[in-house]
Structure 1
């Protein structure tokens, strides 16, 4: 399956999609006090996609927060932003770089520490806020998803006041779930799935 999505910013996305059970597509849902974001999970990064689904279904992220917010760069959350949150993560994942998946506005990627194998901390994720994208991260961090609804929420999160360590002054708690949407439901969101 292929898809095509035009974001309000004029960015056209395309790629390949695979059906889930009963022709439903797995969509990540991130709820915060600022609103809801829906995340398309790319088939091109199957291990990252599977880890995201697994952790969401286990309620792993619920009550954790966006702990790093840098306007015009990324908002990041998931596991603790400590050395242990990366290197001792129980969910280290081999990188799945794909030339078709870029750090464009709204892209969802896996955080990591500075390790030579570029292993992802499977519990740490970020969302690109830079409207021009961040090409210098391509091939260095795995992109595994794309915001398909809630770019206004991304804007609201990315512009909160932060301290000198880029942590929000007021905690932005996460509630991460999985939704399974049909092609028709995705079309209502402006997300076209072609067979």
Structure 2
């Protein structure tokens, strides 16, 4: 009896070991091509929920219904597709502080705004994929909102009339990136003159991500759960983001999706997709 028990324990141990050596590979199919992603073990509630919906086929025939070029593409509105009453639109507790940022390719959960959702709970179905852009270290370590506020005070000075005119001209020409560059170029002068500190802290890991891969760093300040990452198919995301849109950022031509889940050895995912798992 003892021998049988030890044999069963060994078998269970082997099964657990084999299971931990595999991961769920997500494939999102669109008319532009396929997007492949992995979901993080560090956000177990979101991972379990996404896989459950995908395996049940509930994502199929939903669409990327909100598209903003150079920002993100949002989809997976299962509840609306199925015509569920809002009372059945469940949410998931936020899983923040796991060390993941809104770099390009990040897979994150959509949610309602803070005034109706102070706990920052995630939608039970809607997700988005980050596109974004590459930032300079100066942009990342500057309180841009604070800089803009102080910059407006600064250019109201009679001595800064030429600077104010330059800023207005850029605004009229819709050269928004150059407006930001202009404000940043005056950061030190504004800090000295108005006796303010316009710097902010950011981790080295975040700076590395946003100055190389790119993304949307301000979303990290908003309290949205990042629970996965695109490991192949960002060219597809870029194509989708270029879709012509109408009201509410909805694409004129629907971008429908189907979602599949496959259990794949982690070593194969690393070899074929280049994703490196943390050491266990």
Inter-partner Cα distance in structure 1 for 2:240 and 2:84: 22
Q: Who is 2:132 aligned against?
A: 130
Aligned to 2:256, the other structure's residue is in SS state coil
Indicate the SS of the match to 2:54. Answer: helix
Q: 1:45 to 1:22 in 2, by over 3 A?
A: closer
More strand by share: 1
Q: Structure 1 regions of 5+ residues with no counterpart?
A: 1-18
Equivalences for residues 15-54 of structure 1 within 5 A: 21=19, 23-54=21-52
Partner of 2:240: 157
Deviations 1:89-123 (A, max 9, x none): 53300100025110100000000111111110020
Counterpart residue number, 1:101: 100
The Cα of 1:179 is off from its aligned counterpart by 1.5
Q: Does 1:184 align with 2:242?
A: no
Secondary structure of residue in 2 paired with 1:95 = coil
The superposition leaves residues 151-180 of structure 1 with CA deviations (integer Å, 9 ceiling, x where unpaired) of 111111111111132101100001011121
Matches within 5 A, 1:161-172: 161-172=244-255
- Between structures 1 and 2, the one with greater helix share: 2
For residues 25 and 90 of structure 1, the distance between their equivalents in structure 2, rounded to whole angstroms, comes to 28
**How many correspondences in the alignment?**
177
Normalised TM-score (structure 1): 0.82
1:134, distance to aligned residue in structure 2 (A):
1.6
Distance 1:86 1:143, change over 3 A: farther
- Cα pair distance change 1:103/1:25, threshold 3 Å: same
Secondary structure at 2:108's aligned position in 1? strand
Q: After the TM superposition, which of the residue ranges 86-95 and 30-39 deviates more from structure 2?
A: 86-95
